[in-house]
Amino acid sequence: MVVEKCGVITTAFFDKHSIKIKLQELETLLKKRESTTLEFKSRIDSPYKIARTIAAFANTSGGIALVGINDDKTVKGISALPEIEKLEKALELIEPSLKIEYKIVMYQEKRKVLIINVKESLQKPHSVLNLRNEKEVFVRADDATVPASKQMIQILERFDTQPNPELINQPNIKKLTQFLQKNRRITVKQFAKLVNISDHRAEKTMQELVFRGYLLMLDTQRPISYVLKK
């Protein structure tokens, strides 16, 4: 396998730099499932759709998108230039603007794969301009890109707190973490039952974990559910 091209782009900047993903790591990534920080795409369907994914990564925990990968994780490959052009157009839809890194690699000497690396942003929330010229905000919830509610957007705006290790190491929070690593999402009632506490106390605990950057709250549907931020 050989590197064909690598770069860093923003809406107004392009330069050649390498992102920190070795070619050997591509095969390691292909063995993983999609998650909060990893997504596979056979192609970039439209600038708007990839803009949503990029903004969601930046608004959550950062992430990597691999383009040229089928649903069964076989390597389909891409035509590089059209995908990069769509990527550049996508960045024009994101506010405030983002710097992302990308690399095109040749897989088994015959198929090109686009690796897009997005870091967690310090300028949250990043919005995406849709076809109606409206701004939308997205976050990653496990393996999905989902709209952020008004409340979640407000949390993102002051999202500068790191999880307290003492809080995370509490027995109830450890049980919550283990549950979410297996089940992906949890509601207040499920958490209350899991650790045998009242619904009120469970809700307060989970809200604190959201404000401390440990959980994400998905409140655009009912019942409200929570997922691990990373």
pLDDT digits (tens, 9 = 90+) for 192-214: 999 999 999 999 999 889 888 88
pLDDT digits (tens, 9 = 90+) for 162-171: 667 788 889 9
Does pTM surpass 0.85?
no
Quote the crossing angle between the two packed helices 188-195 and 199-211, to the nearest 10°.
110
Q: Which CATH class is domain 3-141?
A: alpha beta
Q: Is the pLDDT of residue 19 over 50?
A: no
CA distance 192 to 203: 8
- Which residue type, as a one-letter code, is found at position 78? I
Strand order in the sheet with 100-107: 14-15, 3-9, 100-107, 111-118, 63-67, 38-41
Instruction: Identify the band that residue 1 occupies on the pLDDT scale cut at 50, 70 and 90.
Output: very low
Percentage with pLDDT > 70 across the chain: 88
Same fold yes or no, 3-141 and 161-228: no
Q: Is the pLDDT of residue 106 over 90?
A: no
pLDDT digits (tens, 9 = 90+) for 6-15: 445 543 333 3
| Integer-rounded Cα radius of gyration of the chain | 19
Instruction: Return mean pLDDT, the chain.
Output: 85
Residue ranges of the domains in the chain? 3-141, 161-228
Predicted confidence at residue 13, as pLDDT, reads 33
Pick from 140, 144, 73, 143: which is nearest to 113 by CA?
A: 73
pLDDT digits (tens, 9 = 90+) for 108-164: 888 999 999 999 998 999 999 998 999 999 999 888 999 998 888 888 887 655 667
Q: What kind of fold does domain 161-228 have according to CATH?
A: Arc Repressor Mutant, subunit A (1.10.10)
